[in-house]
Amino acid sequence: MKISFWDILAILGVLALLAVAAGLAVVFLNPQSALNPFPPATLPARVVIPSETPTMQQLPPTWTVVVTESTQVVLGETPLPPVATNDSQPTLTPRPTATRTPTPTKEMTATYTQAPNQALWISQSPEDGKTFSPGEDFDMVWRIKNTGTLAWTKRYSFEYVSGAPIHKYYSEIALKDIVQPGGTAVLTVDMVAPMEPGSYRTEWAMVDDTNNRFYHFFFFFTVK
């Protein structure tokens, strides 16, 4: 049997087809095969993430917007009062005339009440401001009026109170005569000027029968 050239060529074509079919089957079954001219990309290693117990996450506080009612003042236009025109003349209203009524005046009457023991200075000798020489002897005389309601008996007196003690003898002297209300007592004291120059004052007082001082009088003088 003689095999021709075409028979050989047909056999080779069939073998080639079988080889291609076998290669395609291998590539299909194993894409990573070396026979695959276009192998797929290699996948990265699988990472396994460990599971954790879920934790409740607290959200931050949020602002709550509270809408409050506000009073809105709407300024409206206030109607202006009508303007008077010159069409009508204003009416004059007569003004009442005030009548002055005299106010009655009240007379003030001073009431003077006399005290039982009361006195008033009338005069003295020497006068205040008299100048004496050191150690000069003199008589001091006061005239005192009884302006009270009681008579000054002989149990009344006048006495030294304070200041320069220039009386020569007694610091308390009884009245020699009774002095009725309205009368005047003459009070005399023997005195002597101090030896040291200067300005001086001596104070005396009227004393009633209960030893109560009810009137004071003074004498001011100078020694040079």
What is the value of pTM for the model shown? Answer: 0.51
The residue ranges of DSSP E strands in the chain, in sequence order, are 119-125, 130-132, 137-146, 157-163, 172-174, 184-192, 198-207, 213-223
Using the predicted structure, report yes or no on whether residue 206 has a pLDDT greater than 60.
yes
For residues 201 and 217, what is the distance between their CA atoms, to the nearest angstrom?
11
End-to-end CA distance of the chain: 199
Structure confidence by residue, pLDDT tens digits, 137-163: 999 999 999 999 999 999 999 999 999
Q: Give residue 173's Cα distance to chain centre.
A: 63
Task: Name the CATH superfamily for 119-223.
Answer: Immunoglobulins (2.60.40.10)
Q: Which amino acid is at 92?
A: L
**Domain-by-domain residue ranges, the chain?**
1-36, 119-223
Name, in order, each residue with C-beta under 8 angstroms of 182's C-beta and a sequence gap of 6 or more. 145, 146, 147
Structure confidence by residue, pLDDT tens digits, 8-37: 888 898 898 998 888 788 778 877 777 677
Instruction: Among 65-69, 71-75, 201-205, name the most confident range.
Output: 201-205
